[in-house]
Amino acid sequence: MGDFIAKTLEETTRAIEHSVFANEFASRKGLLQSLDPRTKVVSFLWLLIMAAVIRDLNLLVIFYLSVLLLACLSYIPPGFFIKRVWVFIPIFTALIAIPSIFNLVTPGRDIFVLFNLPRVYHLGPYTIPEKITITAQGIEGASIFVMRVATCVSLAILLVLTTEWTRILKALNVLRVPEIVILILAMTYRYIFLLLRVAESMFLARKSRFIAKTDLSEQHQWLSARIGVLIGKSFNLSNEVHLAMVSRGWSGNPRLMEEGKIGKRDLIWILSVAIITVLMWHRSEILLWMRPFLR
């Protein structure tokens, strides 16, 4: 087993690097970066609702591919974007959806027989059939569930990557989010990275003072003690920040800067989202023409 402290330091540094990369993507001259944050927040929320209610697998596949196209037009590397989306959440969702492919959960047309039991078993209200199979309806339902989660996660990550966090918070005013909630989110986001930097400095300080490797129990003991120190520092820092805000006239009502006017690109984007919504909702002839190629 490798150095536990070194691994913790590496993961802390990686978390900070991810935030830097996110800010780099948000500053690029791509399609989504050129839109007003309020337009993006409202339109992406609507697209998330659409992805959550769609029950057609072909539609979800087209939807997901459209999100990938938006990522490419926003100068986000496809490999980076796909890996960021599929690393954990959709894969974990697939593991959850696996039981639904069997006829024990989703009866339907059998496409593959796993094994046969001696007889039918009854466990209270549940019945275990004599033949355990994988059904077509189960695979379709699991695929829809996984693609729906992947599409929703892709939309959320794409919004964060193409918009600075402060601008997202300001755009939440359109959704009538209370200003105090926006302020708490802004300060939480800001000081998470400050605490990460403090933790990184603590790990580097320890590493610079030790030459020989220590056993795992000692590393765990040191780490638990540093967690307590970090909590104490964060508590003291919050008190100092609050006192500094009060001394500068903080009254409890945050004031947010006004955003610019919505331009032509925003109107075109809203119109495009509306047209795509109508096409997806009413299953247009274009979609029916594309269906044989998706099978």
More confident residue, 100 or 208: 100
- 153 phi and psi angles, rounded to 5 deg: -65, -40
When pLDDT is cut at 50, 70 and 90, the band that residue 224 belongs to is confident
pLDDT at 287 over 60: no
13 pLDDT tier (thresholds 50, 70, 90)? low
Quickly tell me which residue has 């939480």 as its tokens.
188
DSSP strands (E only) in the chain: 110-116, 121-123, 126-128, 131-135
pLDDT at position 1 over 50: no
- What is the share, in percent, of the chain residues with pLDDT greater than 90? 6
Q: Give all strands (DSSP E) within 6-102, no chain letters.
A: none
CA distance linking residue 153 with residue 84, whole number of Å: 10
- pLDDT score at 2: 45
Token code pair at residue 246: 């009060």
Query: Considering the domain boundaries, does residue 235 fall inside one?
Result: yes
Count of domains forming the chain: 1
Is 80 exceeded by the pLDDT of residue 267? Answer: yes
Cβ–Cβ < 8 Å for 28, 243: no
Is residue 16 assigned to a domain?
yes
Residue 69 pLDDT > 90: yes
Cα separation, 146 vs 163, whole angstroms: 26
| 68 found inside a domain | no
44 confidence band (pLDDT: 50, 70, 90): very high
- 50 within a domain of the structure (yes/no): no
Tell me, yes or no, whether 84 lies in a domain: no
Integer Cα distance of 190 and 234 in angstroms = 13
Among 26-30, 111-115, 167-171, 278-282, whose mean pLDDT is lowest?
278-282
Q: How high is the pLDDT of residue 167?
A: 81
CA atoms within 13 A on the CB side of 39: 22
Q: Kindly report the average pLDDT of the chain as a whole number.
A: 77
Q: Give the model's pLDDT for residue 70.
A: 92
Contact 163, 138 (CB under 8 A): no
Is the pLDDT at 66 greater than 80? The verdict is: yes
- Give residue 106's pLDDT: 80
Residues in the chain: 295
Residue that wins the pLDDT comparison between 190 and 47: 47
Long-range contacts of 140-145 (CB under 8 A, 24+ apart): 140/57, 141/97, 141/100, 141/101, 141/106, 142/94, 142/97, 142/98, 142/100, 142/101, 143/57, 144/55, 144/56, 144/57, 144/60, 145/93, 145/97, 145/100
Instruction: Tell me whether residue 85 is in a domain.
Output: no
Residue 268 lies in a domain: no
**Maximal CA-CA distance, the chain:** 79
Domain range for residue 192?
1-27+165-258
Q: How many CB atoms lie within 10 A of CB 210?
A: 11
User: Quick one: pLDDT band at residue 14, thresholds 50, 70, 90?
Assistant: low
